[in-house]
């Protein structure tokens, strides 16, 4: 009890100190002349290969010298440069309409390629303020479900494919559509898990039920899925009706029965670094001795990246933290050994591009319901979300990793699937 109170006091004291430091930094930048800020910012962007244009529209750029053009529509943009790490500032000011990208996500991609997030004087402070405390307790974990996944099923249906799969698709030379690529991903997971009729499968974070439905229909397995998003569960239960699938509105930490196979797709990003070990302990408790487990997650490719604390946490995924790639091994040891690790980051960049295009095509139908969200900035917010995530993958700053685990290997050796 005393230790908990001391930790809380230390945490909130640190928050106050960080808030004060950020306020001082913001004030200093705000008081600087716009002409000076323009000069410094333009020079910094040019080092990153970005042409800064001040005016109403793009003027075009020499592709031998630059990789992107950033069009700044108002001098008010420069007064926000002290508000936080650069990508956070760009997200907020993009939502305000203060700048645009000549070619969608190219500005963010150039930044991810050449400007490590920890290089910003305030970057590590923002990250520490986020990760110092467990943001994914049983109580706090419900925020992302309520604020993101429960926004509205009509929104997700508008930009996802017919399988309603809200995770990275798997693009191959044979896939032509987003639906093709999502089915290819689901089948790849089933093959990696070596599914066969009669097996009992646990899915941690089952989304709209697409994976459970596909595996029950095509591989003859029974599936138990855990999900705390009420809106997603409604769809998942409708879609899996009549199949050997049970969808539980329950925290994954409550799982306490044995399964032949365990997998999670696009869920580990919401587990939180304080709970990585606990996640694998749940899997250890529930996986049979000869079982196989698969984890499909976005990771930070390098420790130069901030794992959390930026614009995406503020508007899209509250409490989210990306694991570093190496943690997929260290946090699972010694409970599990890695049989296969597969990086599919290029596929996610393409998936995000398709989602972004679908969203903008559907916006006229979505606008009456969603236009007032985020103070009337929902469209620009959602575009920035999809574009900045795409830029992360295009730049290689983040990866999409599928890891296959066993306890002590597979008799005859594990055969990798692609």
What structural domains and CATH numbers belong to the chain? 1-130 (no CATH), 138-406 (3.40.50.150)
Q: What pLDDT, on the 0 to 100 scale, is given for residue 305?
A: 61
Whether pLDDT at 356 is above 60: yes
Are the CB atoms for 398 and 299 separated by under 8 Å? yes
- The whole-number average pLDDT for the span 7-30 is 80
User: Which of 381, 389, 392, 416 does the annotation list as catalytic?
Assistant: 389
> Rounded CA gap, 209 and 247, in Å?
8
Structure tokens at 407: 């306890």
74-94 confidence digits (pLDDT tens): 999 999 998 888 888 999 999
Whether pLDDT at 72 is above 90: yes
pLDDT band at 116 (very low <50, low <70, confident <90, very high): low
Q: What pLDDT, on the 0 to 100 scale, is given for residue 103?
A: 80
Structure tokens at 405: 């685990």
> Rounded CA gap, 282 and 138, in Å?
14
pLDDT band at 119 (very low <50, low <70, confident <90, very high): low
Asked if 389 is an active-site residue, the reply is yes
Entry pTM? 0.91
Antiparallel, parallel or unpaired: β 259-265 and 245-249 = unpaired
> Rounded CA gap, 311 and 97, in Å?
16
- The whole-number average pLDDT for the span 209-226 is 98
Q: What pLDDT, on the 0 to 100 scale, is given for residue 59?
A: 80
Whether pLDDT at 154 is above 80: yes
pLDDT band at 117 (very low <50, low <70, confident <90, very high): low
Q: Collapsing DSSP states into helix, strand and coil, what is residue 187?
A: helix
Q: Which residue has the higher pLDDT, 240 or 108?
A: 240
């Amino acid at each position: 009890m005393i230790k908990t109170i001391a930790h809380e006091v230390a945490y909130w004291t640190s928050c106050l100190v960080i808030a004060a430091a950020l306020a001082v930094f913001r004030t200093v930048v705000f008081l600087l002349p716009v002409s000076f800020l323009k000069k410094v910012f333009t020079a910094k962007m040019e080092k990153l290969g970005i042409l800064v244009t001040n005016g109403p529209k793009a003027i075009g750029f020499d592709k031998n010298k630059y990789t992107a053009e950033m069009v700044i529509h108002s001098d008010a943009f420069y007064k926000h440069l002290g508000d936080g790490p650069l990508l956070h500032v760009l997200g907020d000011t993009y939502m305000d309409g203060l700048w645009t990208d000549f070619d969608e996500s190219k500005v963010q991609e150039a930044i991810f390629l050449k400007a490590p997030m920890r290089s910003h004087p305030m970057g590590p402070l923002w990250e520490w303020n986020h990760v110092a405390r467990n943001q994914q307790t049983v109580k706090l974990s419900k925020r992302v479900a309520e604020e993101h996944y429960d926004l509205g099923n009509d929104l997700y249906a508008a930009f996802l494919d017919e399988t309603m799969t809200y995770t990275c698709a798997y693009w191959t030379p044979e896939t032509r559509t987003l639906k093709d690529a999502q089915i290819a991903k689901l089948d790849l997971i089933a093959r990696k898990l070596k599914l066969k009729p009669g097996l009992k499968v646990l899915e941690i974070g089952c989304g709209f039920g697409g994976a459970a439905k596909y595996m029950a229909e095509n591989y003859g397995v029974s599936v138990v899925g855990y999900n705390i998003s009420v809106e997603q569960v409604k769809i998942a239960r409708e879609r899996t009706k009549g199949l050997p699938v049970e969808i539980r509105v329950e925290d994954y930490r409550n799982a306490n029965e044995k399964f032949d196979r365990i997998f999670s797709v696009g869920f580990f990003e919401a587990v939180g670094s304080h709970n990585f070990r606990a996640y694998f302990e749940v899997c250890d408790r529930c996986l049979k001795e000869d079982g196989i487990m698969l984890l499909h997650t976005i990771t930070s490719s390098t420790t130069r990246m901030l794992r959390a604390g930026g614009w995406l946490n503020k508007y899209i995924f509250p409490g989210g933290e990306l694991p570093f790639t190496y943690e997929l091994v260290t946090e699972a040891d010694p409970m599990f050994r890695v049989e296969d690790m597969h990086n599919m980051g290029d596929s996610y960049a393409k998936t995000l591009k398709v989602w972004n295009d679908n969203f903008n095509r559907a916006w006229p139908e979505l606008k009456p319901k969603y236009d007032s969200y985020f103070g009337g900035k929902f469209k620009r917010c959602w575009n920035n979300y999809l574009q900045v995530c795409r830029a992360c993958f295009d730049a290689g700053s983040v990866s999409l990793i599928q890891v296959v685990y066993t306890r002590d290997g597979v008799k005859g050796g594990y055969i990798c699937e692609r």
